[in-house]
């Protein structure tokens, strides 16, 4: 479980194809190597991935994760290459501050950036989501984009907008997002459960 508060931005330094469509990704970061346990979960720009090895790369901590064929197919991980910057968040511990919202690290789909407007104190991004996910997005509700917890500002059919403050633009990969880019999207779990309850009552 995560909160959508990014604690580091890593970089992919190696991509290694494996059997059965698996792909091993090696990511450098600023975390202390001894603090990363084999088997730990790290949210990597949205998807929760399991650490299978740790090491160093040019003096920096590195860790390896295996992305399965399903992850590669339904998230942006299938497009990650050497040099791709990755938002990182360590798994939530009991007692940690919940600064964003509860994020599972299970990406629901891909959102496309339709427009970006840079305002004096923030940036407004408008995105389109796959139609089946639109019903889970509500004004003042939460979404995670590239693993970043954001509040929905407006909704119109399959489009929604978010306002992103300068700090978030500076410390996450969202600062580089432009129209035409695609971002990993996780909808709010509460919205998903509420929709399921409504469906169940209608059965």
Residue 98 · residue 137 · CB < 8 Å: no
CA pseudo-torsion sign 98, 153, 195, 157: negative
What are the structure tokens assigned to 80, written together? 């990650």
Decide if 76 is catalytic.
Answer: no
Backbone dihedral region of 151: left (phi > 0), alpha (psi from -120 to 50 degrees) or beta? Answer: beta
- Rounded CA separation 174/99 (Å): 18
Catalytic annotation, pick one of 7, 104, 134, 151: 151
Catalytic annotation, pick one of 2, 63, 136, 160: 2
Decide if 56 is catalytic.
Answer: no
**In this structure, how many other beta carbons lie within 10 angstroms of the beta carbon of residue 67?**
22
Catalytic annotation, pick one of 29, 43, 44, 48: 48
Identify the helix (H) or strand (E) that includes residue 175. Answer: none
Catalytic annotation, pick one of 14, 106, 131, 194: 106
Decide if 154 is catalytic.
Answer: no
Residue entry with tokens 């994760």: 65
Decide if 50 is catalytic.
Answer: yes
Catalytic annotation, pick one of 3, 29, 41, 161: 41
Catalytic annotation, pick one of 14, 35, 50, 73: 50
Decide if 48 is catalytic.
Answer: yes
Decide if 41 is catalytic.
Answer: yes
Decide if 151 is catalytic.
Answer: yes
Catalytic annotation, pick one of 68, 91, 134, 191: 68
**What letter would DSSP give residue 30?**
S
CA pseudo-torsion sign 136, 169, 147, 183: positive
Q: Identify which of 3, 6, 2 has the alpha carbon closest to the alpha carbon of residue 165.
A: 6
Query: Mind telling me the catalytic residues?
Result: 2, 41, 48, 50, 68, 106, 151
């Amino acid at each position: 479980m995560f909160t959508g508060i990014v604690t580091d931005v890593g970089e992919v330094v190696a991509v290694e194809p494996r059997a059965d469509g698996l792909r091993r990704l090696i990511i450098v970061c600023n975390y202390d190597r001894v603090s990363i346990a084999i088997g730990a979960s790290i949210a990597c720009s949205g998807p929760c991935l399991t650490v299978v090895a740790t090491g160093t790369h040019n003096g920096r901590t590195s860790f390896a994760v295996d992305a399965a064929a399903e992850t590669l197919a339904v998230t942006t991980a299938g497009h990650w290459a050497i040099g791709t910057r990755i938002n990182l968040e360590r798994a939530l511990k009991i007692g940690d501050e919940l600064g964003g919202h509860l994020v599972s690290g299970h990406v629901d789909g891909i959102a496309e950036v339709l427009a970006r407007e840079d305002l004096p104190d923030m940036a407004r991004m408008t995105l389109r989501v796959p139609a089946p996910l639109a019903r889970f997005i509500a004004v003042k509700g939460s979404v995670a984009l590239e693993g970043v917890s954001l509040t929905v500002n407006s909704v119109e059919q399959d489009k929604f907008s978010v306002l992103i403050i300068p700090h978030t633009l500076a410390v996450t990969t969202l600062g580089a997002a432009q129209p035409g880019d695609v971002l990993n999207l996780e909808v709010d779990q509460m919205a998903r459960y509420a929709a399921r309850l409504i469906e169940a009552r209608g059965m």
